[in-house]
A and B are shown apart, each in its own frame.
Chain A
């Protein structure tokens, strides 16, 4: 089993989620095939959907070169799609849910639960999981993972078991630092419990402002206050909201705060604290996606998340990757990747120019990125060659 990139001890379910430096990313695609690319339509590249996740943990790395071949590789300069498998490797089998990962129907309007109006984060849209599970998930602060919880129960329990108000619990709950659209709820619940060591700092930025303000109570809310959690939740507070002039706050203040918070969640990704959503388009895909840039702290995370998100569209190829996952990304790997990859990740910045992702420091990138585009390499003339140059120069 290739070492989890995230420093996880496999099988124990103790995870400290660490942002990986790109260099340590494993260049190979064939390792750790445990975590399969799950496309949003519920069609896994793997033959079996969820329980395979468990069984595949113990499998060798090389099970599905083909499958890997269909994965999207963005060939982000200097970074490599890390293995996402490590996360799955954390699973204690008992946690995994047996329900199908995805229903075939995308969620309507992106709402995960009939009982709540949730700020749908981009990469969750359309990944409907068994809806019934959701009614138990009251907390819309589980934004990142809501749509993935077929077994709300397990989640709730997990959250219950966490100490109240501890931020660490919430971190695990609230944010998947590397969003895994394909993970089933079981995984999620594990991550809830396990990610106690997750970095609060990142998480803070990741969760939308409104959500975060309630984050210390997500654990509680999950358990007992159905509509309490989400600020966007409109079911219970709707009654309160009907009392005219109550609470006694000046309209100016209410409107200003609402605008400020709305800006944070706004779909066009206006900069501000809280979530930063940008559209992600991919050449040839029938529809776009949205990602919250603040949930990532490095390019590789973004890259891997996007790869997963769009893998269903990919007919990319991966070159042969003979290196074990442990090794640092070698130049040859990178080159292989870039050569092999059909796509390049670009972004539109504040000035309206299309730039290659990966050149500037991450924070600067976030501040200037307006939207993302996964471009065909052939279109990326003038962008991609730069990375190739770097490659060549190294070699």
Chain B
């Protein structure tokens, strides 16, 4: 290999994933050097595992960065608001060292308007900004991006609460901007200038993904579709109209022209009578997201699904019911990913979907590999059946809405059911547990879930043994998050070296004590052991035996972070 000119080796590296690139850089010094200078894309799963300066030193020529901030449980309000995860230091550092930066993808990161402004001015070649579950900015920041990024191709905002400053950010895209490929502002609540939107669409011949927000009326959707019949991914705005109206008729014919749409979403406000207009699109749909459309009732959903024979990904609300899932099972034979969200998380007992729906899906959709399923009841028998029918699961997340609810038929824990899943699905990488579970399920996980990378545990287990089974058994475990489970210091401290092989460990409302956390921090200097100390929970010098409410442990090369707020103690 040393006889190959460097350009050739570099070219070969281009085909490798970032994990493989990590591997090849360890082969020899010249490869390390080559790989380092040719690496363009980098993924940093924990923004505190490494400082921006260290990243820049290691990879001097990055063009695309993916950064993740808060721990996953922050999505469910378990992490205080100002815990951290700021992008600004990264943008500042990269502004100096990565003038050629083109892409930035952030998840659970705090982004301010200043950061966006700095971003928009620092990278003349900036092309793609994707923000998922971020916070901290307003439409003013978006205006800066629109105005200053001359060759912007992608602006994608997902599940973000953006404060609306009514500044007409969309109008800030200059007339010279014709490079847009993807624009997703569906999560925005404020109005946009509809004329500007239409003009923007008209001058963006490469536009493939467009997701509108609910303030864009159906009339305008019509006009937009006629200007952009090449769309591949469409998210509707408000989908309310009188079916006999002229606008609706125009929409119907505009839709017929959009032969390329493969992904459909939106419908936050929907008049179900107008759904037939999109039936022609449904024939070729591979991805459908109706998880924000409580306005479409079960039988209307079913009517729609009947048209979607090629669906591969379906996100839906549980008002589809078991019957509807049966229709999905018989219609969508190529389904790979299914997410069923609860339309009413707190309504007790009224089972919109049950284990029957899941079983039906497993029988009909044999290619299913990714599942997120919220339901009110489950049984071991059902899980065992599902495991048999679908051995290809890579992601299996089951959330029984009632914590610690047993098998509703036998009243037994669901250990056997989940055990069947991990035993059958040899490629399982991500698993979320729920329902009544004892240490037994963790024994199964440790024994069988060999490829498991991420495990979420809530209200489960009996003793430290449970957690130990997992830590001992799952070699490739990267993220372990536990809440409200009886795991204590013994579990925490038995195998401290394990945590350096993992990205992070989260434990909240468990039995670990202050003393245990201190011991861990002491033994493992390359871990940050952060105690998240909500008000009044701990005095200045807490007793070692006091239980810790929330602890977040992660490996890091750069020691305790300097931006930790007062309530976070890094031991």
Contact = CB atoms under 8 A, between A and B. Distances in A.
Interface of A: 204, 209-210, 212-214, 216-217, 221, 225, 227-231, 233, 236-237, 240-241, 243-257, 260-261, 263-264, 271-274, 361, 363-364, 367
A212 B346 CA distance: 15
Nearest to A234: B346
A273 B321 contact: no
B296 A251 contact: no
Contact of B295 (A225, A227, A233, A260): A260
Contacts of B456: 248
A256 to B, nearest CB: 6
Given A225-B349, A245-B483, A273-B295, A250 B76 contact: yes
Interface stretch (B9-17, B172-180, B336-344): B336-344
B349 to A, nearest CB: 4
A273 B270 contact: yes
A256 B350 contact: no
B167 to A, nearest CB: 22
Contact of B294 (A225, A257, A364): A257
B351 A217 contact: yes
Chain B interface extent, by class: 35 or more
B520 interface: no
A312 to B, nearest CB: 35
B133 interface: yes
A208 B96 CA distance: 56
B399 interface: yes
A249 B76 CA distance: 6
B20 to A, nearest CB: 32
Nearest to A273: B295
A260 B292 contact: yes
A250 B158 CA distance: 12
A221 B159 contact: no
B399 A260 contact: no
Given A228-B347, A250-B159, A260-B295, A273 B272 contact: yes
B316 to A, nearest CB: 13
13 contacts: A210-B294, A210-B344, A214-B347, A237-B347, A237-B348, A240-B346, A240-B348, A245-B483, A250-B133, A253-B291, A263-B269, A361-B244, A367-B240
Contacts of B255: none
A298 B351 CA distance: 34
User: Which of B75, B240, B456 has most A Cβ within 10 Å?
Assistant: B75
B242 interface: yes
A227 B321 CA distance: 20
Contacts of A216: 298, 321
Interface in B276-291: 291
Contacts of B270: 273
Interface of B: 73, 75-78, 133, 159-161, 187, 240, 242-244, 268-272, 291-299, 319, 321, 341-352, 374, 399, 401-403, 432, 456, 458, 483
Given A213-B319, A245-B76, 9 more contacts: A204-B297, A213-B297, A231-B344, A247-B345, A251-B75, A253-B159, A260-B269, A271-B240, A272-B295
A246 B299 CA distance: 29
B295 A240 contact: no
Contacts of A264: 294-295
Nearest to B432: A248
Given A250-B133, A252-B159, A236 B348 contact: yes
A91 B133 CA distance: 57
A135 B240 CA distance: 39
B346 A225 contact: no
Contacts of A237: 346-348
A244 B272 CA distance: 34
Contacts of B240: 271-272, 367
The SS class assigned to the B binding surface is: loop
A200 to B, nearest CB: 8
B347 A260 contact: no
B319 to A, nearest CB: 5
B349 A221 contact: yes
A240 B348 CA distance: 9
A224 B257 CA distance: 52
Nearest to B456: A248
User: Which of A209, A246, A272 has most B Cβ within 10 Å?
Assistant: A246
Contacts of A261: 294
A245 B269 contact: no
B401 A257 contact: no
A252 B187 contact: yes
A247 B292 CA distance: 17
Nearest to A141: B350
A217 B376 CA distance: 14
B344 A249 contact: no
A244 B297 contact: no
A260 B76 contact: no
A317 to B, nearest CB: 38
A295 B341 CA distance: 28
Nearest to A210: B344
A229 B295 contact: no
A243 B401 CA distance: 11
B78 A241 contact: no
A272 B274 CA distance: 12
B77 A245 contact: yes
B268 A248 contact: no
A257 B316 CA distance: 12
Contact of A240 (B161, B187, B350, B402): B402
A131 to B, nearest CB: 24
A347 to B, nearest CB: 16
Given A253-B159, A260-B269, A244 B347 contact: no
A211 B503 CA distance: 44
Given A204-B297, A225-B348, A237-B346, A249 B187 contact: no
Contact of A244 (B75, B78, B159): B78
Nearest to A201: B299
Contacts of B432: 248
B133 A272 contact: no
B456 to A, nearest CB: 8
User: Which of B296, B348, B403, B456 has most A Cβ within 10 Å?
Assistant: B348
Contact of B346 (A241, A274, A367): A241
Given A240-B402, A247-B342, A228 B458 contact: no
A261 B344 CA distance: 10
A231 B299 CA distance: 20
B75 to A, nearest CB: 5
B136 to A, nearest CB: 14
A244 B79 CA distance: 11
A220 to B, nearest CB: 8
Contacts of B319: 213
Given A204-B297, A216-B321, A260-B268, A253 B341 contact: yes
A166 to B, nearest CB: 12
Nearest to A167: B299
A273 B274 CA distance: 12
Nearest to B79: A245
Contacts of A241: 346
Contacts of B244: 361, 363-364
A249 B272 contact: no
Nearest to B352: A213
Which A-B residue pairs are the 7 nearest by beta carbons? A273-B295, A245-B76, A228-B349, A237-B346, A252-B159, A214-B350, A225-B349
A247 B294 contact: no
Nearest to A228: B349
A243 B405 CA distance: 15
Contacts of A260: 268-269, 292-295
Contacts of B402: 240
A252 B350 contact: no
Contacts of A272: 240, 269, 295
B551 to A, nearest CB: 16
Nearest to B273: A363
A99 to B, nearest CB: 29
A363 B77 contact: no
A246 B159 contact: no
Nearest to B401: A247
